[in-house]
Amino acid sequence: MQYNKVEICGVNTGKLKVLKEKEKKELLKIMREGNEKERKIARDKMIKGNLRLVLSVIQRFTNRGENLDDLFQVGVIGLIKAIDNFDTSLDVRFSTYGVPMIIGEVRRFLRDNNALRVSRSMRDTAYHAMQIKEKLINKNNREPTVEEIAKEMNVPKETVVLALEAIVEPVSLYEPVFSDGDDTIYVMDMLSNNNSDSNWLEEISFKESLKNLSDREKKILSLRFFKGKTQMEVAKEIGISQAQVSRIEKGALNQIKKDM
């Protein structure tokens, strides 16, 4: 998408204003402290000054066959929600908060308008499986097998596999979803769907703790938890034993827990 060649919803994207982070903070402050007229003007400026942020985000969804105008309008709804709910006391950039909100709004739109929808029961099974998986990881300090998850749920292992595959789209831990030159947002910046203060701090701590891991540890965690590969598959791909993968994975997880 070339901004200077695209018109979306009648808007010439090449002429969109881009706000600096300082300007955003000033507008957000006015929205919280100004009178009614000042708040309205500041909110309008904040929306218009972040439309290019919406464009940057919806680029990653353009191969879905959806109308760009529709995606843009949905993305703007996410942007407005982010603007209205952003906590200025948090020491994070607005885009760090806004990008996940925009993506979430677009994904809900795509999910609700997808002709091949995942059934409610399949989603419920998948979410239950993820909860059981998290429980077993905390209990045993290792990745559970599909058989262990299925046994805990009292369902066939095939049911667990199909349910998880129906809702999961593997992505790279370091896949950029937005960048305006000096402010890049990666997948790992959005690991939590809950936007509470504590979870934002946990996400920041998690990102910082990843920097302390070796390249091999990062790759193993990425293959295991974001591409869904077994320890045997990871061992074969990087040329070490399954026991080594298990040891490195356990050490990396313990290091992350310690740092956080």
249: domain CATH number is 1.10.10
Last residue of a domain, one of 92, 115, 138: 115
Q: What distance in Å separates the CA atoms of residue 239 and residue 150, rounded to the nearest whole number?
A: 30
Structural domain includes residue 54: yes
CATH of the domain at 81: 1.20.120.1810
Where in the sequence is the domain holding 230, given as residue range(s)?
A: 212-260
Structural domain includes residue 175: no
The amino acid sitting at 237 is E
pTM summary value: 0.45
Structural domain includes residue 77: yes
Give how many domains the chain has, as a whole number: 2
Structural domain includes residue 88: yes
Last residue of a domain, one of 71, 97, 115: 115
Cα 205 off chain centre by: 16
Structural domain includes residue 185: no
Residues in the chain predicted with pLDDT less than 50, given as ranges, are 1-5, 115-116, 170-174, 191-198, 200-201
How do residues 205-221 score in pLDDT, each as one tens digit? 556 667 778 888 888 88
